[in-house]
Amino acid sequence: MIALTATLLAEIIRTRREHTLVLSGLRYNAYLDFMAAAVRANDALHAISTDDQDRTADVATAMRESGLYRARELLLVTGSSEMVFAAESAFRGLLEVRDAVARGLPLNWPDYRPATDGMAQDVWRLRQAARREFDGSPLDLDRLAAIQTPHIAERLRRDSQD
């Protein structure tokens, strides 16, 4: 009886461990897919905003082809609560940009900058939540911003001298 109980307990532990590993992999892929889709959608919306044609159909196509809606659904099902709320905030920020671009507003419209800044903050919070989810330490945005790199003109000049 003791051997049977020990075997059953070992199997339960192994099954839970496997479930945790599978879920962790699903979450990891869902988070990366969502972030990549958000970038694709944002880039497509920026490209569309420079076109003077009717944007409504282009915006709908760009959002659909970005994979954002599918990625959001996957994240809603598999993500932790923290990730779901962070992703939803970023998603809604993108919807605001989508709607503005569909209405034909240029990127320099007065309310666009706060929306962009808010979306950037939402995406940053999403990244930080993902790092915490996978036991990574949060990144310090000020330290990242302080990294000095030569301007492109300096790099090109230096490269042409070599």
- Whole-prediction pTM value? 0.73
Distance from chain centroid for Cα 102: 22
Ranges of each domain in the chain: 29-133
- Do 115 and 93 form a contact (C-beta atoms < 8 A)? yes
Alpha-carbon span 100 to 56, nearest angstrom: 10
Look up the CATH number of domain 29-133.
1.20.120
* Residues sharing a CB contact under 8 Å with residue 78, sequence separation 6 or more, in sequence order: 23, 26, 27, 30
What is the block-wise mean pLDDT of the chain (162 residues), using blocks of 10 residues? 78 82 88 94 88 83 96 94 93 90 73 63 87 84 79 70 70
Give first-to-last CA distance, the chain, whole Å.
78
